[in-house]
Amino acid sequence: MKKTNILALIAALLFPLALSAAQPRPEYPRPQFERKDWVNLNGEWSYVFDFVGSGLERGYPDSDGFKEKIIVPFCPESKLSGVEYTDFINNIWYQRPISMPAEWNGKRAMLNFGAVYYNSEIYIDGKLAGRHFGGSTPFAIDVTDFISDGKEHSLVVHAYSDPRTTKQPAGKQNVRLNQFECMYTRNTGIWQTVWMEPVDRDALKQAQVITDIDRGQIIIRPQFYGSQGGSLKVTIKDGNKTIGTQTVPATNYATVVFDVKNPKLWSPGNPHLYDITYEVKDKDGKTVDVVNSYTGMRKIHVDGNKIYLNNEPFYQRLVLDQGYYPDGIWTAPSDEALKNDIKLSMEAGFNGARLHQKVFEERYHYWADKLGYITWGEAPSWGMNCNDPEVARNFITEWSEEIIRDRNHPSIVTWVPMNEQFWSDLVQFPRFVSDVYDITKALDPTRPVNDVSGGTHIKTDIWTAHHYEQDPQRLKEIIYDGDRWFATPDGHIDVYRTNTGFNRPTDFNRYDFPKYTKPDMPYLVDEFGGIKWVKGQDSETNNSNSSWGYGEPPHSLEEFYARLEGQIDALMSIADNVWGYCYTQLTDVEQEQNGIYFYDRSPKFDMERIKAIFSKTPDSAGNKK
């Protein structure tokens, strides 16, 4: 063999490894619906800002490359993107070449986007291939007819966002130029993995998995791209042991039911998972699609004023996790970073998190499933004018997509569509919230719904309130005041109001909003604490005016520990009536510096002492164990 051929062979063998190491976020992004054959499109793209929205007139869809470079999947506001432009970006255009591998002939080429904020248009060689509305959920476009000739083609993505319109869910993205209070850097454009994969015309499109621990069953409802008389073979394994195999017609009305003897239940203490393999065969018996997945058998339900996990009362010690990263904003720098956030929380004594004002990457839920960590799935509802019917239409579509994406993850135990919404419209807002509740239950009847966390409840399975009173005794008195339970003398809800610049109602008494009654449903304080601590806070020379937290900051570490433990003890003492909490927050986020960890995930405190505080649990009498 010639020396040049040997070198070429070595280069060919080494290059994929080098590319994989250099490529950002190389892992398959859809862990519960994984195919082996796929192409990751993360990496360097070209881009151009379009501040006045004239890109169509400038011919941007026909571009074969823009002047500037950006690293996908990181938003242009982030350091990891290589751009770090933090002013408002109403429009951004991306470009990169794509082609269809020869071995995909006979398959459909699906172009997948994990998420693009907010609305997006996809062009190939100047032709519109598809659109998506919403900034937090995945979508796929069949691009076969555009790229099946085997040639290289120009993929152009146009993303539009303007959180100042009040028509799109923005979460904690700042609607002002500069950060203030609990509003942070914006997140525009592509912010999750982009990839392509081949699928057969009759491939599996999705599958809903429901587990029934009372009857020992796993129920699977598949959906297909097409139906040409083929079959679906489903195999469930517990490690190397096959639990069962069933074959059904590959039709959308098929239901697969497995009886599982002595099921091993998923729980935080024992996060047991069963592997699932889906194999689609055509009418001639040829395998045309293989998808790997998993599930965990567990049950979450409400009975009276308690929440139950696997038919046992389960007290939730949650932490508020906003999923922001110093270098990636909404996008974790690595898969390991997602896993590490969960480990940090568990090491601090929490058994779960309320995932706050953001749809987290699905890989996060994978690690929560694996590690045994419960979560509440939430939408980035802040920024919306909930009195606007157009907003309702935008939100309901995207919220439905979020539920469908994540409903098979056993670690998610509660849906939280909205946060701290207080609106005076007596027709649109109650209708909107009620519709969201009903749609959530239709798509997933297996989990409780917290309709408006800490806000005006309309239709909900659990009652939640936000209390940032810093004095422990006063906190207890506010939460539990005899039989009045957070009610004003006239019987109407006395909602907690924060000064975040959003609209507030002027007259709650015109509408008889629901009231909390102790036996009816669980009551949780799903935001409290927020105790500010910054480096040098106990020093007179420290200037921490630029940072933000709740209440008067403690003046020493010992004062911090005493206040924190006092608040937890207050909640433990009334645990018969307040069945869980969520502490604000896991990490500092930019100027809001009230986390258990610093923004870079380094510890602020003696973590053994912190863990001892947050590990406290109530017994059946409501006393500390």
pLDDT tens column, 131-162: 999 999 999 999 999 999 999 999 999 999 99
Strand 312-313's sheet: what is its strand order? 300-303, 306-309, 312-313
Measured distance CA(386)–CA(393) in Å, rounded: 10
Measured distance CA(123)–CA(289) in Å, rounded: 28
Under 8 Å between Cβ of 537 and 554 = yes
Average pLDDT over residues 529-553: 81
Task: Decide which of 510 and 151 is more confident.
Answer: 151
Under 8 Å between Cβ of 330 and 191 = yes
Assigned superfamily of 204-295: Immunoglobulins (2.60.40.10)
Q: Over 80: is that where the pLDDT of 165 sits? A: yes
What pLDDT is attached to residue 481?
A: 63
Q: Over 70: is that where the pLDDT of 487 sits? A: no
Residue 341: strand, helix, or coil: helix
Q: What class has domain 300-614?
A: alpha beta
What pLDDT is attached to residue 427?
A: 87
Average pLDDT over residues 299-311: 96
Judge residue 533's burial from the number of C-beta atoms within 10 Å of its C-beta, 0-12 exposed, 13-18 middle, 19 or more buried: buried
Residue 116: strand, helix, or coil: strand
Q: Over 60: is that where the pLDDT of 17 sits? A: no
Average pLDDT, the chain: 90
**Positions of E strands within 304-350:** 306-309, 312-313, 317-321
pLDDT tens column, 171-190: 999 999 988 889 999 999 99
Measured distance CA(12)–CA(355) in Å, rounded: 43
**Angle at CA 219, nearest 5°, toward 217 and 224?**
160
User: Among residues of the chain, what percentage have pLDDT more than 90?
Assistant: 83
Which range, of 26-35, 225-234, 579-588, averages the lowest pLDDT? 225-234
What pLDDT is attached to residue 1?
A: 40
What pLDDT is attached to residue 22?
A: 84
Domain locations in the chain as residue ranges: 23-198, 204-295, 300-614
Band of pLDDT at residue 519, cut at 50, 70 and 90: low
User: Among residues of the chain, what percentage have pLDDT more than 70?
Assistant: 88
Is 300-614 the same fold as 204-295?
no
Average pLDDT over residues 564-586: 95
Under 8 Å between Cβ of 158 and 190 = no
Measured distance CA(614)–CA(586) in Å, rounded: 12
Assigned superfamily of 23-198: Galactose-binding domain-like (2.60.120.260)
Q: Over 60: is that where the pLDDT of 620 sits? A: no
Band of pLDDT at residue 402, cut at 50, 70 and 90: very high
The two tokens of residue 120 are 């997006």
Q: Over 80: is that where the pLDDT of 256 sits? A: yes
The two tokens of residue 272 are 């047991």
Under 8 Å between Cβ of 127 and 146 = yes
Q: Over 80: is that where the pLDDT of 208 sits? A: yes
The two tokens of residue 342 are 């969960």
Q: Over 70: is that where the pLDDT of 502 sits? A: no
The two tokens of residue 195 are 């990839």
Under 8 Å between Cβ of 36 and 72 = no
Which range, of 146-160, 379-393, 511-525, 605-619, averages the lowest pLDDT? 511-525
Measured distance CA(506)–CA(426) in Å, rounded: 12
What pLDDT is attached to residue 103?
A: 94
Under 8 Å between Cβ of 355 and 527 = no
What pLDDT is attached to residue 76?
A: 98
Average pLDDT over residues 540-548: 64
Band of pLDDT at residue 244, cut at 50, 70 and 90: very high
Q: Over 60: is that where the pLDDT of 499 sits? A: no
Long-range contacts of residues 571-575, Cβ cutoff 8 Å, at least 24 apart: 571/476, 571/479, 571/525, 571/528, 572/616, 572/617, 572/618, 572/622, 572/623, 572/624, 573/476, 573/622, 573/623, 573/624, 574/476, 574/479, 574/480, 574/622, 575/315, 575/618, 575/622, 575/623
Residue 407: strand, helix, or coil: coil
